[in-house]
């Protein structure tokens, strides 16, 4: 499959990165730290995308320790594991923030960098859902699924907003800044408190708040990890509504129909109608094999986000639909058919059943997701590198200050803004 049409390739040269960051933490703390301290540790020969990929490697190491110590997402780990998760995520954030500075520093800024950065962030979102669920001892169940939903929707809506507005907008509180720093703090605190089982305790009782008639029983008994999900739900609604307003305002300024843009959310909505339906119909997957299924669900979202980024870079129409949803449609229909047959007489015996074949199907879907998304990544990187005459993980044409100054003077002279004698 061709993901970038030949007639859209010239749009890549018109690319110009646009972002607005309203975060005070980012402006006064993190950016000075990155620009004045961290960036000097990266040599000039190091490609920005290589920095991004190296940072992602720390998260992969975190995930490997998760698989070793708590593959079911509900077991306490040694304290050093949680500390390593905090350090690994902070390093990922640092490397991810420095790749743009390195791109400007080495004069390697371009559309491939944005695609690569967002692509890695999409995969990291899924890994962090699992790591956070393990830190909170959420286990294999609906709490982890809800966490995946909130994280995936936040990333999808943010990319959807960037497509329609042309600008990546980060609010006063955003996932890439405050969200990641909060997770780092939670991981480190979990290590100090002795493990994820602490977060399963009722929060108000742990804080020694006395029970009164004004506090309902369900609220008083709400665990720490459940309070976090309430907070996450409030932030999800706020960020989604804010993004929708920004998109509709941008389209109105261009004289376009505002509500048409909302149709772009249907792809995400369709996937998340099928995902909980399948898990409800197949509790064996929900409670015993959720980790591979979360990977597959994450790849569905990553594939949609990747295609949105390509459409944004090439100024193409919004991509609707997702081929990775089709196996879920089949799985839900196959699981629902025996129930319909029993109650209405309309249906058929399940081809996958409720046991080993269902597990094999999930791993097959995971393989399909890796194949489809992997082919997408390889194809677009190869296409962009070939057209722009660049390399992905190394710098093909190192910037020379003398040569760059000469080229700038020649360009100005050609445009008639510099006297030739000044050359």
Query: Annotated catalytic sites, by residue?
Result: 118
The domain 6-398 belongs to what CATH superfamily? CDP-alcohol phosphotransferase transmembrane (TM) domain (1.20.120.1760)
pLDDT for 135 equals: 95
pLDDT per residue, tens digit, the chain (423 aa), is 678 988 899 999 888 888 888 888 888 899 999 999 999 999 999 999 999 999 999 999 999 999 999 999 999 999 999 999 999 999 999 999 999 889 989 988 889 999 999 999 999 999 999 999 999 999 999 999 999 999 999 999 999 999 999 888 887 777 788 889 999 999 999 999 989 999 999 988 888 888 888 888 888 889 999 998 888 888 889 888 989 999 999 999 988 888 888 899 999 999 999 999 999 999 999 999 999 999 999 999 999 999 999 999 999 999 988 999 999 999 999 999 999 888 888 888 889 988 899 999 999 999 999 999 999 999 999 999 999 999 999 998 887 765 555 655 665 566 555 444 444
CA 357 to chain CA mean position, Å? 30
Q: How far apart are CA 92 and CA 333, in angstroms?
A: 40
pLDDT for 175 equals: 78
* Integer angstrom CA distances of residue 350 from 116, 224, 335, 347, 355: 41, 40, 6, 9, 11
pLDDT for 312 equals: 93
pLDDT for 224 equals: 92
Q: How far apart are CA 62 and CA 380, in angstroms?
A: 28
Which residue's entry shows tokens 């720490």? 224
pLDDT for 400 equals: 72
Q: How far apart are CA 283 and CA 289, in angstroms?
A: 9
pLDDT for 141 equals: 95
pLDDT for 399 equals: 78
* Residues whose CB falls within 8 Å of the CB of residue 10, separated by 6 or more in sequence, listed in order: none
Any idea where the domains of the chain sit in the sequence? 6-398
Q: Which stretches of 106-179 are DSSP H helices?
A: 111-135, 142-165
* Residues whose CB falls within 8 Å of the CB of residue 380, separated by 6 or more in sequence, listed in order: 3, 4, 115, 306, 310
What is the token pair recorded at 70?
């708590």
pTM of the model: 0.91
């Amino acid at each position: 499959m061709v993901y970038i049409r030949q007639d859209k390739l010239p749009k890549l040269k018109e690319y110009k990165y646009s972002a607005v960051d309203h975060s005070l933490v980012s402006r006064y703390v993190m950016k000075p730290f990155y620009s004045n301290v961290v960036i000097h540790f990266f040599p000039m020969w190091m490609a920005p995308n290589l920095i991004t990929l190296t940072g992602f490697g720390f998260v992969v190491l975190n995930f490997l320790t998760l698989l070793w110590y708590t593959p079911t997402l509900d077991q306490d780990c040694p304290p050093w594991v949680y500390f390593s998760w905090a350090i690994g995520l902070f390093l990922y954030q640092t490397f991810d923030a420095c790749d743009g500075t390195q791109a400007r520093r080495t004069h390697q800024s371009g559309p491939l960098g944005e695609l690569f950065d967002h692509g890695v962030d999409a995969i990291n979102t899924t890994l962090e859902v699992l790591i956070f669920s393990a830190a909170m001892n959420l286990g294999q169940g609906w709490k982890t699924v809800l966490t995946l939903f909130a994280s995936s929707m936040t990333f999808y809506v943010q990319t959807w907003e960037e497509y329609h507005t042309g600008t990546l907008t980060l609010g006063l509180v955003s996932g890439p800044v405050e969200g990641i720093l909060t997770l780092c703090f939670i991981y480190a605190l979990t290590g100090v408190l002795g493990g994820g089982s602490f977060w399963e305790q009722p929060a108000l009782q742990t804080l020694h708040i006395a029970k009164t008639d004004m506090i309902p029983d369900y609220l008083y008994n709400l665990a720490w990890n459940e309070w976090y999900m309430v907070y996450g739900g409030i932030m999800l609604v706020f960020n989604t509504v804010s993004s929708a307003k920004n998109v509709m305002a941008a389209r109105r300024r261009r004289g376009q129909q505002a509500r048409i843009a909302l149709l772009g959310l249907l792809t995400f909505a369709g996937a998340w109608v099928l995902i909980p339906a399948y898990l409800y119909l197949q509790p064996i997957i929900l409670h015993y094999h959720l980790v591979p299924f979360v990977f597959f669900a994450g790849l569905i979202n990553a594939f949609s986000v990747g295609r949105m980024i390509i459409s944004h870079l090439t100024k193409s129409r919004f991509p609707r639909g997702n081929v990775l949803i089709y196996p879920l449609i089949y799985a839900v229909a196959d699981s629902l058919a025996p129930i319909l047959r029993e109650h209405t007489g309309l249906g058929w015996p399940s081809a996958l059943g409720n046991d080993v074949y269902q597990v094999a199907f999930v791993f097959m879907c995971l393989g399909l997701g890796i194949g489809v998304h992997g082919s997408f990544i390889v194809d677009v990187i190869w296409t962009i590198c070939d057209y722009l005459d660049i390399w992905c993980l190394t710098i093909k044409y190192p910037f020379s200050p003398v040569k760059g100054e000469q080229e700038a003077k020649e360009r100005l002279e050609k445009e008639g803004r510099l006297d030739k004698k000044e050359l």
